[in-house]
Amino acid sequence: MPHDLPKAYDPAIIEDHWAEYWVREKLFAQPTPSADATGTGEPYTILLPPPNVTGRLHMGHMLNQTEMDILVRWRRMSGRRALWLPGTDHAGIATQMMVERQLITEGSSRQQLGREAFVERVWEWRRHYGGAILDQMKRLGASVDWQREYFTMDEKLSVAVREAFVRLHEQNLIYRGAYIVNWCPRCQTAISDLEVVHEEQKGHLWEIRYPVIGEKGINSGEFLAVATTRPETMLGDVAVAIHPEDERYLSLHGKTLRLPLMKREIPIILDEWVSRDFGTGAVKVTPAHDPNDFALAERHHLPSINIMDDTGHINDEGGAYAGLDRYQARKKIVADLEEQGLLAGIKDHVNNVGHCDRCKTVVEPRLSTQWFIKIQPLADKAKQAVREKHIRFTPEMYEKTYFEWMENIHDWCISRQLWWGHRIPAWHCAECRKITVARVNPTACAHCGSAKLTQETDVLDTWFSSGLLPVSVFGWPNFGKSNTPGAPGPSHLGTWESNENRADFDAFYPTSLLVTGFDILFFWVARMIMLGCWFAEDVPHADGSRRSLADSVPFREVYIHALVRDANREKMSKTKGNVLDPIEIVKTYGTDAVRFTLASMASPGTDIAFNIARTEGYRAFANKIWNAARFLFMNVDRAVEVGITVDLAALGGMPAVADDAPLEARWIVAELNATAAKVNQSLENYRYDDAANTIYQFFWGSFCDWYLEIVKLRLDFSETADKAQTKAALTTLVQVFEAALRLLSPFMPFLTEELWHAVYDGKPPAKSIALTRYPQGDGLQMNEAVLIDMGVLQSLIAEIRALRKEIGVEEKAIVPIQVRTDAGMQIVIGENCAMVERMARVSEIRLVEQIETGLPKHSTFNFDVAVIYERTVDVAAERERLSKDIAKYEKGLISAERQLGNEGFLAKAPAQVVEGLKKQEAETRLLLEKAQAALAVMPPE
């Protein structure tokens, strides 16, 4: 039975091979369940948080995809009907900018192209570059169903977006209104709070005098001073507000001011919102350019004057300053105020300035007409769903964060002034000026019948479509015949009774789990909960019964993954230059080692300090398993030569051993069961770290370091050997190894796939290890007595090894020992003396009542042990060895001291390098002292 396994473990080769195989064989496709399908298990569904179509894989993706893949593979192998559904987000603003940049390099622009041609251009861009991040996922072996890959601008999902908008509009939950939004003058769109990055910047606080209009007009010489960081906005001032109890200004109650430069009369208003301690205690009110002022103006029924256009230039409302860019206007206004003696002062001031996340332009808070969702009814349902525990958060603390946000929720501005996205299905009538919202593009105004309709130019916020994903990816709302290709679209929406296209929804909604980052808890997670509950509740169950809120939620669990930081626990950032590219690390160490590194540190709420040294360690772990496989195959092949074959049909489950099997066989099976039980339990609790470390300990410690070494005693292929015994030992060895591969498979899918196929030597019982069964720990197999006996033997061997070291027994020497222990243990040692002799290099075990006095011994609760060793030392050789060591240590010390004394080096070297050097110096000093002491007590020659 030749096992075709290369000598060296080379992840690059095996990973490329299997990644391609998994996709080609459609191994992880989860077809739409048919009504007569039976016995396929309870569904387990995860939606991949769709990366932006413009995205590239980073360490955060790598972590959350590793976490998802481990869970999906584990659940799939545990008999669930697992579906991991991939897709990409059209990412309105990011993608539009990417293409705009491309156009600029070609000397063109979005405006030059016009809307239709531009949108076509974006589609073209997407066809060329849009799949990059999913290709990376394919290479990393993510076990997603590629047959179901979606794009948020797909026809099917766009129908859902339109239906959701129209339905909310019909329910009077969508309105249009003028509100303050974050406006990017470069992108020329409203952007969400999420897309604004705040940065501290040095700026100024200008104090401006507003003349008070007294009985003699403004010539009384009385002023009210206000302070502002954006003087240009004064062009849009409609009032100045003071606190009603501010004693400094009592005399000004009821008076008016002359707005400088604009020569407009504005009132002084009283409002308790004004802080008396900030600035002068008087606040200019610019409702169209500040959210607080907007609220203030609403309370006092003041008008809003918008003084800026979409590009950040002053418009006609700005009088003499019209046409100037906002910063040019600022300069000129300050100069003019100074000239008129109205500038009371300029102070340095650190501002928290918002920038557009995409293009870094300073964001302008600005009044504009937008579309909003009246969010409260949806929020109430979403809160109820979490309050009643229909959705569970891990870590639990995020539930509190969720409620904090939901309690303070504002209406959701869903319109964006972009070209790339789902265009709002609303039409403006040129005759009656009313709006028609419709599922199908209308030909006539719903109010007056006029045909003079133009579609709204705004598109929907990207989060609106991604918020609908849990329902839309499973076919909502198009459950009827209209889903058949070629049939007309949304006007033919099926009824809920039509079962034709709802099998997916029935099977996979609600999804089981969402794994995502805390940064989009509100923007995405909360919105999916709101929209999911709202729309799914109207979809009855397949049997026609009403869907409860518990079954309307988009997912039953939310797992918020942690951050991946660098080895020094610093956040990765481009400016710091400490960003790790997962693809580069994968190239060096293999996907399996990187996955294992992340898994071994992942637990709820704990950030990961990614240290490449750990990845090196796990690469060595993979190598160790590889070599174990080669050892195993070598023995299987040798066995065949003497007529012993391992029955492959005996593999695939959990190995069973006879009661009279050797201790190590019963022990490794008990260990395997205990390990499997612990791993299953850990994964159930999202303790990836515990699961990974448990498997690591089992493979490296129990299996390789102990079992493999002991079992060598049984693999006797000589003429005189007991063939039945050899076959039994070999069978258990192969069985345990095969089961351990399955246990490891969700963590290291490539390595285990390769070795599993090799175990079956080209005749595997399934297309992939991923389609086999996950080992479950059987309590009956965790034989407590066996674990205890073996534990005592292991500690006996460890004590002998330690003693040998202490008294300087040479590596290769075989020595007798004395052991004092109880009657029970004496039997165990007697039965397993070969094991002890082999593992601790012992020539003879003498069981005694009492350890002979004077012998070097170790004592534990269970035994005393002594090593009998007459030391024969070659004094001359030993002196020479010690002298050489001393010289070496001295040299090392001098070099370390020189470096540590070098000021220039210390100033430049990273802290951990200096730390390492100091540690090394201390260690060398200790070794030197030890060697010197040893030489001092050497007998004379």
Minimal distance, residue 448 CB to Zn ion, in Å? 3
Determine the interface stretch with Zn ion among 83-91, 176-184, 468-476, 663-671 (rule: CB under 5 A).
176-184
Q: How far is the CB of 571 from Zn ion (least distance, A)?
A: 24
Q: Which residue number, 358 or 804, has a Cβ lying nearer to Zn ion?
A: 358
Cα torsion at 240, 246, 251, 255 (round to 10°)? Answer: 20
Residue 532 near residue 554, CB atoms below 8 Å: yes
What H or E segment, with its residue span, contains residue 14? helix 11-24
Contact by Cβ (8 Å): 212, 222: yes
900 binds Zn ion (CB under 5 A): no
User: Which residue, 298 or 431, has its beta carbon nearer to Zn ion?
Assistant: 431
Choice from 62, 82, 91, 184 touching Zn ion (CB under 5 A): 184
C-alpha 221/C-alpha 475 separation (Å) is 71
Nearer to Zn ion, 191 or 262 (CB): 191
What residues between 122 and 151 interact with Zn ion by CB under 5 A?
none
Rounded least distance, CB 564 to Zn ion, Å: 28
Provide the 10 A C-beta neighbour count for residue 273: 11
Distances (CA, A) of 6 to 232, 245, 617, 623, 832: 73, 86, 21, 12, 36
Q: Minimum distance from CB of 456 to Zn ion (Å)?
A: 14
Residues 755-814 close enough to bind Zn ion by CB under 5 A: none
Closest CB 584 distance from Zn ion, rounded Å: 30
Q: Is 84 left (phi over 0), alpha (psi -120 to 50) or beta?
A: beta
The pairs formed by 921-926 with CB atoms below 8 angstroms and a separation of 24 or more are 921/893, 921/896, 921/897, 924/889, 924/892, 924/893, 924/896, 925/889, 925/893
- Say how far apart CA 501 and CA 487 lie, in whole Å: 14
Q: Which is nearer to Zn ion, 448 or 814 (CB)?
A: 448
**By C-beta, is 197 or 785 nearer to Zn ion?**
197
Please state the closest distance from residue 141 (CB atom) to Zn ion, in A.
37
| Closest to 345 in 3D by CA, of 203, 226, 204, 206 | 206
Beta bridge partners of 571: 565
Q: How far is the CB of 228 from Zn ion (least distance, A)?
A: 24
Question: CB 450 → Zn ion: shortest distance, Å?
Answer: 5
Count, in order, helices (H) and strands (E) of the chain. 29, 29
Distance in Å, CB of 325 to Zn ion, minimum = 16
Minimum distance from residue 188 beta carbon to Zn ion (Å): 8
Report the nearest approach of Zn ion to the CB of residue 77 (Å): 46
Residue 188 vs 681, nearer CB to Zn ion: 188
| Smaller CB separation from Zn ion, 69 or 195 | 195
What is the distance between the alpha carbons of residues 46 and 85, in angstroms, rounded to a whole number?
6
User: Which of these segments, 187-195, 765-773, 873-881, 920-928, binds Zn ion (CB under 5 A)?
Assistant: 187-195
194 is an interface residue for Zn ion by CB under 5 A: no
Q: Which stretch binds Zn ion (CB under 5 A): 181-189, 374-382, 726-734, 772-780?
A: 181-189
Measured at the CA of 336, the angle between CA 335 and CA 338, to 5 degrees, comes to 65
Our CB check for Zn ion shows the closer of 445 and 755 to be 445
Cβ nearer to Zn ion, comparing 178 with 359: 359
Comparison of 97 and 564: residue with beta carbon closer to Zn ion: 97
Q: Decide whether 187 or 337 has the Cβ nearer to Zn ion.
A: 187
As a whole number of angstroms, the distance between CA 655 and CA 241 comes to 81
Q: How many residues bind Zn ion (CB under 5 A)?
A: 14
What number of other Cβ atoms are within 10 A of residue 77's Cβ? Answer: 20
In 3-state terms, what secondary structure has residue 23?
helix
- Minimal distance, residue 445 CB to Zn ion, in Å: 3
Q: How far is the CB of 447 from Zn ion (least distance, A)?
A: 4
Distance (Å, whole) CA 470 – CA 209 = 56
- The nearer residue to Zn ion, 270 or 359, going by C-beta atoms, is 359
Whichever of 311 and 340 has its CB closer to Zn ion, that residue is 311
Q: Which lies closer to Zn ion via its Cβ, residue 359 or residue 542?
A: 359
* Alpha-carbon gap, residue 786 to 668, rounded angstroms: 9
Instruction: Mark the segment that binds Zn ion (CB under 5 A) among 1-9, 14-22, 178-186, 454-462.
Output: 178-186
Name which of 189 and 552 has its Cβ closer to Zn ion.
Answer: 189
Residue 321-360 contact track with Zn ion, rule CB under 5 A, x = bound: -----------------------------------x-xx-
Q: Is 634 in the site for Zn ion (CB under 5 A)?
A: no
CB of 672 to Zn ion, least distance (A): 57
Q: Considering only residues 404 through 463, tell me which ones interact with Zn ion, judged by CB under 5 A.
A: 429, 431-432, 445, 447-448, 450
Please report how close the Cβ of residue 356 comes to Zn ion at its closest, in angstroms. 3
Q: 234 near 259, Cβ under 8 Å? A: yes
- The closest of 357, 286, 350 to 94, measured between CA atoms, is 357
Closer of 447 and 898 to Zn ion (Cβ): 447
Sign of the dihedral defined by the CA atoms of residues 628, 630, 635, 636, in that order: positive
Cβ-based neighbour number of residue 615 at 10 Å: 22
Sequence-distant (≥ 6) Cβ neighbours of residue 219 within 8 angstroms: none
Distance, first Cα to last Cα, the chain: 60
| Residues from 836 through 875 that contact Zn ion (CB under 5 A) | none
Written as one string, the DSSP assignment of 575-621 is: TTT----HHHHHHHH-HHHHHHHHHHH-BTTB-EE--HHHHHHHHHH
Shortest Cβ distance from residue 201 to Zn ion (Å)? 17
Instruction: Pick between residue 62 and residue 122 the one whose CB is nearest to Zn ion.
Output: 122
Which of 58, 80, 186, 838 contacts Zn ion by CB under 5 A?
186
Q: Angle between the 132-139 and 11-24 helix axes, to the nearest 10 degrees?
A: 110
- Supply the minimum distance, in Å, between the C-beta of residue 452 and Zn ion: 8
CB of 435 to Zn ion, least distance (A): 9
Q: Judging by DSSP bridges, how do beta strands 189-191 and 174-184 pair with one another?
A: antiparallel
State which residue, 366 or 678, has the beta carbon closest to Zn ion. 366
List the structure tokens of 900.
């540590």
One of 48, 83, 133, 187 touching Zn ion (CB under 5 A) = 187
Q: Among 137-145, 180-188, 347-355, 582-590, which window interacts with Zn ion (CB under 5 A)? A: 180-188
Please give the full DSSP string across 320-361, using - where no structure is assigned: GGTT-BHHHHHHHHHHHHHHTT-EEEEEEEEEEEEEETTT-P
Q: Can you list the positions of beta strands (E) in 837-876?
A: 842-847, 857-859, 863-867
Give the torsion through C-alpha atoms of 784, 786, 788, 793, to 10 deg.
-170
Q: What are the residues binding Zn ion (CB under 5 A)?
A: 184, 186-187, 356, 358-359, 361, 429, 431-432, 445, 447-448, 450
